Amino acid sequence: MDRPLRLITANPVDQLARTIEALLVVASAPLSVDELAQAADDDSIRIETALGLLSDRYREGRSGIVLEHVAGGYAFRASREAAEACGRLFERPVERGLSQAALETLAIVGYLGPCSRPEIARLRGVAADSTVAGLLERGLIAEAGRDDGPGGAVRYRTTALFERVFGLEGLGALPRLDDLGESAAEIRERLHSVAVGRTA
Amino acid sequence: MTAVFDLPLDLDAFEGPFDLLLTLVLKEELEPAEVDVAAIVVAFVDGLAERDELDLEACGEFLVLIASLLELKARALFPEEAAELDELEPGEAAEELARRLAEYRRMKGAAAWLTERLAGQRERYFRVGPSPLAPRPERQLAPQDPERLAAALRRLAEPPARVSLSHMGLRFPPVAQFLERFRSVLGRRRRFDFDAEVSGLSRVEQAVAFLALLELRKTGEVALEQSAPFAPIRVSRAESERGAEWIVRSA
C-alpha cells in the first residue's frame, strides 16, 4: 500500500499575490504595477500575472472586497453589495455636494489642465476663485506650476483622487471632448434652423 | 438653458424669443445697435421674479450671452474706436461668440458626463487617506572592504601631531619690573630720557617699559614731555612739575 510521496509546493505567483494583497491593504491610494514591483521586489510581468489572479479572486459577487484598476493603479474597494452598509458607517465628503460650477471647473481642469484660474474663468464666463478653492480643499485638483507669462498665474491639474472618485483608470478614460457638446458650426446651424422655423 | 433661450422679448426692434434675436444678430439681419439690451435684462429679471426661484445656471448663461451681445453692440456703435483698438470686427465678434459658446457647451457636456459618472459611482466605497508612505530609498553604497574601514578608523584613532607654538614664544617681562626701575632712576635723577633708558632692550621689553611709564603717569608719579611726535620722551618727577607751576603762580 505504498503510495508515492507528492510534494505540494506553493505556487510562486500565488505567494506573490499574497504579498500584493498585503501591499494593497496597507496602501491608502492606488498602487501602480511599477510601485508594486518595487515594493515586492519582483518583475512587472509577474506582478501583472498575480494581479490577474487577484482580480478574479476579488470581484463583485465573489468577495466583499473588490480589486479595481483605477487612477493609474490598483486598489481595493468595498463591493457594491456592501455599499449600503458602508454608507451607514462612512460619509463621502469628497464628492458630496459638488455643484454644477465645481463639475464644470473639474471638467475644464481635467481636459485642459494644467490650466490657470483666468483660463477657467474665460471659459466659464465667471470668476473661478471660490470654485477652485473648494476643489483644492476636497483634494480633487492640485497646483501644477505656474504660467510662463507675466504674473505667472498658478496652474492646476486633477489629482489621482479625482480619477478614483469618478472611477477612471486615468484621464485617458474621459470621453473625447469633440464628442461632447456642439461645435461652433453646429450651434450656428441650430440657431439658423430655429430662426428659419420661427420665421416660416 | 431653455429658460434663457426661450425668454420672450418685446422690444422696439424685435419681438420674439431670445434665441431668435441671437440668430438674427449672428446672421447680421438685425443691427446690434438697434437692440435695447437693457430691456432684455429687465425681461430676464422679470422672468426670474415670476418663477420665484434663483436659477444660478441660467443667470450665468444669460450673463455670458448678454455680455457678448453688449460687446457686439458697443463695437457697432463705436466702429472707429474698435478699429483703433485693433479689435474684432462685429462679424468676427459674432464668430467668436459662437466659438466661445461651443467651447463652453463642450465643457458643460463634459460636466454632465462627470455628473452621470459620479452617480454611477455611489456604490463604490474605498479608503481615502493621506498619501501613502513611500519607502525611503536607502542610499546605495558600493561594496566596501572592511580592512579599508579599519584603516580609516586607525587613522582617526592616532593622536594628532603636536602643534608647534614656537611662534608664540614671546616673553613679556612684568610691568612691575620697569615700575621699580623707573622709580629708582627718578630717585637718583630728577628727569631722564625714556629712549636712552630703554635703548638696548628688545622691542617687547621696550613696549612693556612704555606701559610702565603710562602707569606711572596715571598714578601721578611722573610727568611726561614730548616736544613733537616721535621726539624723545622726557620723564620727570611729578612734584618738580607741580613745584614749577607753584613758582609760576606765586610769581
* Predicted local distance difference test score (pLDDT) of residue B3: 64
- Taking 60 as the threshold, does the pLDDT of residue A1 lie above it? no
Task: Output A177 or B157, whichever has higher pLDDT.
Answer: B157
**Distance (Å, whole) CA A32 – CA A200:** 60
- Rounded mean pLDDT, B114-124: 87
* Predicted local distance difference test score (pLDDT) of residue A11: 67
**Distance (Å, whole) CA A88 – CA B61:** 38
Q: Which of B107, B117, B121 to mutate to test the interface with A (most CBs of A within 10 A)?
A: B107
* Predicted local distance difference test score (pLDDT) of residue B246: 43
pLDDT band for position A193 (50/70/90)? low
Q: Give whichever of A5-14, A58-67, B86-95, B140-149 has the largest mean pLDDT.
A: A58-67
- Rounded mean pLDDT, B55-61: 80
CA distances (Å), B6 to each of A6, B21, B49, B150, B232, in order?
A: 81, 10, 16, 90, 114
**pLDDT tens string A102-134:** 999 999 999 888 888 888 888 877 778 888 999
Cα of B20 to nearest chain A Cα, Å: 5
- Taking 60 as the threshold, does the pLDDT of residue A93 lie above it? yes
Q: Give whichever of A112-126, A130-144, B21-35, B64-78 has the largest mean pLDDT.
A: A130-144
Interchain CB contact of A197 with B (< 8 Å): no
B75 class by beta-carbon count within 10 Å (0-12 exposed, 13-18 middle, 19+ buried): buried
**pLDDT tens string B182-192:** 999 988 888 89
* Predicted local distance difference test score (pLDDT) of residue A192: 59
* Predicted local distance difference test score (pLDDT) of residue B82: 45
Contact B20, B7 (CB under 8 A): no
Neighbouring C-beta atoms of residue A5, cutoff 10 Å = 5
Provide Rg for chain B, Cα atoms. 53
* Predicted local distance difference test score (pLDDT) of residue B12: 72
Task: Output A34 or A113, whichever has higher pLDDT.
Answer: A34
**Distance (Å, whole) CA B217 – CA A144:** 78
Cβ-proximal residues to A199 (8 Å cutoff; 6+ apart), any chain: none
Task: Output A65 or B246, whichever has higher pLDDT.
Answer: A65
List the beta strands (DSSP E) in chain B: 8-10, 15-17, 191-193, 222-225, 234-237
**Distance (Å, whole) CA A68 – CA A54:** 10
Q: For all residues of chain B together, what is the average pLDDT? A: 78
ipTM: 0.77
- Residue A178 sits at the vertex; the CA angle it makes with A173 and A181, to the nearest 5 degrees, is 105
Task: Output A15 or A2, whichever has higher pLDDT.
Answer: A15
Which residue in B25, B40, B35, B43 sits closest to B97, CA to CA? B25
Question: Which chain A residues are within 8 Å of B20, Cβ to Cβ?
Answer: 194-195, 198
* Predicted local distance difference test score (pLDDT) of residue B37: 83
- pTM, whole model, 2 decimals? 0.50
* Neighbour-count burial for A35-55, b at 16+ CB within 10 Å, e otherwise: bbbbbbebeeeebeebbebbe
Cα of A166 to nearest chain B Cα, Å: 5
Question: Which chain B residues are within 8 Å of A98, Cβ to Cβ?
Answer: 118
- If phi > 0 it is left, if psi is from -120 to 50 it is alpha, else beta; for residue B147 that is alpha
- Rounded mean pLDDT, B66-82: 69
- Rounded mean pLDDT, A158-186: 81
What percent of chain A shows pLDDT beyond 70? 84
Sign of CA dihedral B50, B54, B58, B60: positive
- Taking 80 as the threshold, does the pLDDT of residue B137 lie above it? no
**Distance (Å, whole) CA A141 – CA A163:** 10
* Predicted local distance difference test score (pLDDT) of residue B142: 78
Q: Is the peptide bond before A114 cis (omega within 30 degrees of 0)?
A: yes
Alpha-carbon dihedral angle through residues B230, B231, B237, B241, given to the nearest 10 degrees: -110
Q: Which of A187, A190, A199 to mutate to test the interface with B (most CBs of B within 10 A)?
A: A187
CB-CB under 8 Å, A76 with B107: no
List the beta strands (DSSP E) in B62-180: none
Question: Which chain A residues are within 8 Å of B106, Cβ to Cβ?
Answer: 177-178, 180-182
Q: For all residues of chain A together, what is the average pLDDT? A: 83
